[in-house]
A and B are shown apart, each in its own frame.
Chain A
Amino acid sequence: MNNNSGFLAWVMDPKRRGPMLIAPAIIVLLLINIVPLMWSFGLSFFKYRANTLKPPKFSWFYNYEKVVQKEGIWEALQTTAIIVAGSVGVQMVLGFLLALLFAKKFPLRRILLMFVLTPMMLSNVAVAIYFKLFYEPEFGLLSQFVQSFTGEMYVLLATPAGALIGVIVADAWQWTPFVMLLVLAGLVSVPKHLYEAAEIDRMSWWRTFTTITFPYVRSLLLLAVLFRTIETFKIFDLVFILTNGGPGTATETIGVLVYRTAFQFFRTSSSAAMGYILLFAVIVLTSLYLYVIKQRESEEM
């Protein structure tokens, strides 16, 4: 009892209020995130397969060498880069246009906005299933549309380029609203009097856009690019269900490659090494993202 109250008093000490408030969160994160991360970091230096009983064998950088040399990580990186560039590019352009459209007030705006914003709240699984149906060669809408011109079934996902486009379209459809939402926030923050002044000065539409609108949207647009790049870099669910990396390895992104290596081929330690290459990229992107946020906040003050 005495001991207990001593401990309680130690915990409740005002000096420790900050640390004690965040302690539970830090403990949970350590247990479920940091410890496994360290574990897999260690694992990446061993030879280990999760489907055998053989104990792990220390092997220095063997896994990293193998991953870089022959397990197709470059191809996977390239595939991921193509999907990121394509999808984020489309999202930026379409998102910007949508935002310009929705920046003005008009009746039914709230409902229409909800329609446009819904995709990003959907499960990736649901999006993947819809697009699988859409691309379906026999009765999918795309195939039937093409068929009405050519008279032949159209199998988009059968060619490498087609499959990549299929994935990019699905991902871009789902995440364009995200970019739109960010740009919209920027557009709304432009002071009205600037536009009035521009009108008095008879500034051209283009000049108004580049000197007034764009500067207000620029930092948010940059954040959108970074955020979407980080997220698209990890793309897994959509590709896994839509194409399962196929045809061949044409749409095998890093996420799918790591999954296959770990849970289909059970090269557990190789997958850990791959994961670390991926982690490095994500940390760089995340710090860049937070740096831009800081800049933006200090600009506003």
Chain B
Amino acid sequence: MKKRAIGEAGWGGTAIAAIVGFIYFFPVLFIILTAFRSRSDTLATPPKWIFTPTLENFYHIFYRSMANSTEYVATGFHMYFFNSIYISGMSVLLALIIGTLAAYGFSRHPLKGNDTYLFIILTTRMLPPIIVIVPIFLIFRVTGLAGTYTGIILIYTCFNLPFSIWMMKSFFDELNTEIEDASRMDGATERSVFFGICIPQVKAGLAATSVFALILTWNEFLFALLLTNKITRTMPPAMARTIGGEINVDYGLLAAMICLFLIPILLVTYLLQNQLLRGVTFGTIKK
């Protein structure tokens, strides 16, 4: 068979893939375009494809005139951004530390009933958050954790923990244990085996795990909706609140918010393409 210059797919395949990729990406593209349209252009029928880009939507995220007034007031969105970053950052860090230790334990020092523990841990991740949220809501109300950073960080740590354990275990399982055994023979302590040999080898795994956990937490809606208040609110419930009623929804504004949301995710998707499969299946499928 003759080798074609364009790779295995040939020109036809490439063209189809390009068209499909474009169609599939269209909604994202449309959101980006909407974010840069002025309000009148957003509402135009038929939709305007060529328009003068404006940054007013992005400005309105942070400063917006309230109903019946022309004065621009801060909307508090800079705080929601900070909250999203702070809460997901802290909870991912905690989950990663606890989860990596546990994953190492499960991988290297298996207990009796190791698989049962792992199954229960995965089930806690698979179970619908809606059933834990009712009692958690009640407990938080009694203990005063509702609406505090500690409360939501604790919840998210627990939310990320099963994921971190399964992901990190899949990375530890892949390592060659001969190196560890050899250094143990040479008198290395358990601690130096863990920090000196295992951790450096799973650096990429740690990075992938934390990035996926960050995205999961960054996107989480239900817990944030019910367990944060005006001060600790994160981006997703803040965006959902911006929709408000059914009429007069400011889609340009929402699109601008989604855009700010989108940039880190696009970057991550591109950089982590090879780890994506493992990430989205909680480490259960490696290749």
Chain A partners chain B: yes
Residues of A within 8 A of B (CB): 14, 17-22, 24-26, 28-29, 31-37, 39-40, 43, 50, 98, 101-102, 104-126, 129-134, 136, 138-139, 141, 144, 148, 173, 177-178, 181-182, 185, 189, 220, 223, 227, 230, 233-234, 236-237, 241, 254-255, 258-259, 262-263, 268, 271-272, 275-276, 278-279, 282-283, 285-287, 289-290, 293
Q: Which of B8, B18, B155, B226 contacts A105 (CB 8 A)?
A: B8
Does residue B208 face the partner (Cβ distance < 8 Å to A)? Answer: no
Complex alpha-carbon distance, A117 and B255, angstroms: 20
Q: Is the CB of A234 within 8 A of B134?
A: no
How many Å from the CB of A155 to the closest CB on chain B? 11
List 16 extra interface pairs beyond A36-B139, A113-B21, CB under 8 A: A18-B110, A29-B158, A104-B9, A106-B14, A106-B17, A107-B7, A129-B243, A130-B30, A131-B27, A148-B46, A181-B277, A189-B287, A234-B129, A255-B128, A258-B128, A278-B131
Q: Is the CB of B128 within 8 A of A234?
A: yes
B102-120 at interface with A (beta carbon < 8 Å):
102, 104-106, 108-111, 117, 119
Q: Is the CB of B104 within 8 A of A21?
A: yes
Q: Is the CB of B281 within 8 A of A237?
A: no
How many Å from the CB of A21 to the closest CB on chain B? 3
B128 CB contacts on chain A under 8 angstroms: 233-234, 236, 254-255, 258, 275, 278-279, 282
Does residue B270 face the partner (Cβ distance < 8 Å to A)? Answer: yes
Stretch at the interface among B59-67, B72-80, B174-182, B260-268: B260-268
A-B contact pairs, 6 of them (CB 8 A): A17-B109, A28-B98, A126-B258, A130-B30, A185-B277, A234-B128
Stretch at the interface among B50-58, B199-207, B214-222: B214-222
A131 CB contacts on chain B under 8 angstroms: 27
A141 CB contacts on chain B under 8 angstroms: 30, 47
Closest to B14 in A: A106
Does residue B239 face the partner (Cβ distance < 8 Å to A)? Answer: yes
Complex alpha-carbon distance, A20 and B46, angstroms: 64
Q: Is the CB of B276 within 8 A of A181?
A: yes
A121 CB contacts on chain B under 8 angstroms: 215, 265, 268-269
Q: Is the CB of B222 within 8 A of A230?
A: no
Q: Is the CB of A115 within 8 A of B21?
A: yes
Q: Which of B7, B34, B121, B266 contacts A104 (CB 8 A)?
A: B7
B229 CB contacts on chain A under 8 angstroms: none
Closest to B11 in A: A106
Complex alpha-carbon distance, A102 and B111, angstroms: 42
Q: Is the CB of A124 within 8 A of B269?
A: no
B92 CB contacts on chain A under 8 angstroms: none
Closest to A244 in B: B246
B31 CB contacts on chain A under 8 angstroms: 126, 130
Q: Which of A124, A134, A227 contacts B281 (CB 8 A)?
A: A227
B137 CB contacts on chain A under 8 angstroms: 50, 262-263
A104 CB contacts on chain B under 8 angstroms: 7-9, 13
Q: Which of B20, B99, B262 contacts A126 (CB 8 A)?
A: B262
Does residue B157 face the partner (Cβ distance < 8 Å to A)? Answer: yes
How many Å from the CB of A287 to the closest CB on chain B? 7
Residues of B within 8 A of A (CB): 6-10, 13-14, 16-18, 20-22, 24-25, 27-28, 30-31, 34, 42-47, 98-99, 101-102, 104-106, 108-111, 117, 119, 121-124, 126-139, 141, 154-155, 157-158, 161-162, 165, 190, 215, 218-219, 221-222, 226, 236, 239-240, 243, 249, 251, 254-255, 258, 261-262, 265-266, 268-270, 273, 276-277, 280-281, 284-285, 287
Complex alpha-carbon distance, A211 and B102, angstroms: 42
A119 CB contacts on chain B under 8 angstroms: 24, 27-28
- With a 10 A CB-CB cut-off, give which of B98, B126, B273 has the most chain A CB atoms: B126
Complex alpha-carbon distance, A185 and B129, angstroms: 29
Complex alpha-carbon distance, A117 and B276, angstroms: 9
Given contacts A40-B134, A116-B20, A126-B258, contact A25 B139 (CB under 8 A): no
Given contacts A108-B18, A138-B45, A236-B222, contact A39 B135 (CB under 8 A): yes
Closest to A42 in B: B135
Q: Is the CB of B127 within 8 A of A255?
A: no
A262 CB contacts on chain B under 8 angstroms: 130, 133-134, 137
Q: Is the CB of A32 within 8 A of B158?
A: yes
Given contacts A122-B219, A129-B239, A132-B249, contact A116 B25 (CB under 8 A): yes
A110 CB contacts on chain B under 8 angstroms: 270, 273
A114 CB contacts on chain B under 8 angstroms: 266, 269-270, 273
A39 CB contacts on chain B under 8 angstroms: 135, 138-139
Q: Is the CB of A139 within 8 A of B43?
A: yes
Q: Is the CB of A144 within 8 A of B47?
A: yes
Q: Is the CB of A129 within 8 A of B254?
A: yes
Given contacts A101-B13, A110-B273, A113-B273, contact A29 B121 (CB under 8 A): yes
Q: Is the CB of A268 within 8 A of B138?
A: yes
A126 CB contacts on chain B under 8 angstroms: 31, 239, 258, 261-262
